[in-house]
Amino acid sequence: MTTAAAKPATMAQALGRALRDAMAEDPTVHVMGEDVGTLGGVFRITDGLAKEFGEDRCTDTPLAEAGILGTAVGMAMYGLRPVVEMQFDAFAYPSFEQLVSHVSRWRNRTRGAMSLPITVRVPYGGGIGGVEHHSDSSEAYYVATPGLHVVTPATVEDAYGLLRAAIASDDPVVFMEPKRLYWSKSAWNPETPGEVEPIGRAVVRRTGRSATLLTYGPSLPVCLEAAEAARAEGWDLEVVDLRSLVPFDDETVCASVRRTGRAVVVHEATGFGGPGGEIAARVTERCFHHLEAPVLRVTGFDIPYPPPMLERHHLPGVDRILDAVARLQWEAEG
């Protein structure tokens, strides 16, 4: 419980606080990336860290993402715990080979002799009016790579807790930050940040009986809004915040779907080859006899992320979610 006196904090502040607390507790935690030092990052997540901990602990690197992640590998080999900031989703692509060919495989390649406790922070998703390469939902690439944990917060509280857990993890974690929610607020109090849970657990954000919306990151507030709007249609929707795509919490997800008998997966990433396909398949395989309708997906279209002037047509919105809920074969019930 947060105190009544607490001033609302933003997700950006919670992330910054998580970095600060991790650095204060553990001298091996190093923050590195483009503009993270003097400027405090283009989203100001690392604001004040270079001043407090010095530039050796919060380092402005040359502008080269493969070099940033590649050198982070070497630093982790030597016992440091690097937290790498990729400035934007699409700017992370040059680091892909290091991530896929090395970071994700290091523990396996060395038979567990050496792990790489690297956190790669990736601001992702659209809805901020960004020009091309500033709004991608790139999580499917990471999810498809064995050896990586992939987590994403949707609330201010989780931004703190999950980032602390990611940094504490001995395995590499791709930490996807829904940049649209950086300025979302909550009564979360940085002085009493709460328990740091291990990553890998989904959470029910809204209980309901009619159907389950399975979602994560930037789509959570949209789903909660849709669930409110659905009440007018007589649907009582449950909303599950996945929080972690790898590991995937089959237990929480399936328990919800078995209760409601219907499910819609909602995310911004493209539908074909996106995480929603895997989630729908897992739910179908595990909950088939509880399902009243096929698991549906509401996702971004299979197009390059559209420009700011058209992105509203691409992003999953309340109406599109309600349309999907309407297609969950309710007539069969009567």
Contacting positions for another protein (CB under 8 A): 55-56, 61-62, 64, 66-67, 69-80, 94, 97-98, 101-102, 106-115, 146-147, 149, 169-171, 200, 246-251
Closest to another protein by CB, 81 or 180: 81
Q: How far is the CB of 185 from another protein (least distance, A)?
A: 33
> Which CB, 35 or 250, lies closer to another protein?
250
CA distance 23 to 29: 5
Q: How many angstroms separate the CA atoms of 219 and 122, rounded?
A: 16
134 is catalytic: yes
Nearest distance from C-beta of residue 294 to another protein, angstroms: 23
Yes or no: say if 65 and 91 are a contact pair by the CB < 8 Å rule.
yes
Residue 139 vs 171, nearer CB to another protein: 171
Tell me the pairing of strands 237-241 and 203-206: antiparallel
- The strand pairing partners of 145, in sequence order, are none
56 or 195: CB nearest another protein: 56
329: alpha, beta or left? (left if phi > 0; alpha if psi -120 to 50): left
CB of 206 to another protein, least distance (A): 24
Catalytic residue among 134, 149, 267, 314: 134
Token couple for 189 = 């109090």
Cα 82 from Cα 118, distance rounded (Å): 5
Query: Among residues 75 and 120, whose Cβ is nearest to another protein?
Result: 75
The distance of closest approach from Cβ of residue 315 to another protein in the complex, given in angstroms and rounded to an integer, is 29
Upper half-sphere CA count for residue 302 (Cβ side, 13 Å)? 7
Give dist(CA 274, CA 272) in Å, integer.
5
Region of 273 (left: φ > 0; alpha: ψ -120 to 50; beta: rest) is left
For the record, the structure tokens of 20 come out as 């600060």
3-state class (DSSP) for residue 26:
coil
Give min distance, CB of 118 to another protein, in A.
10
Give the residue numbers marked as catalytic.
134
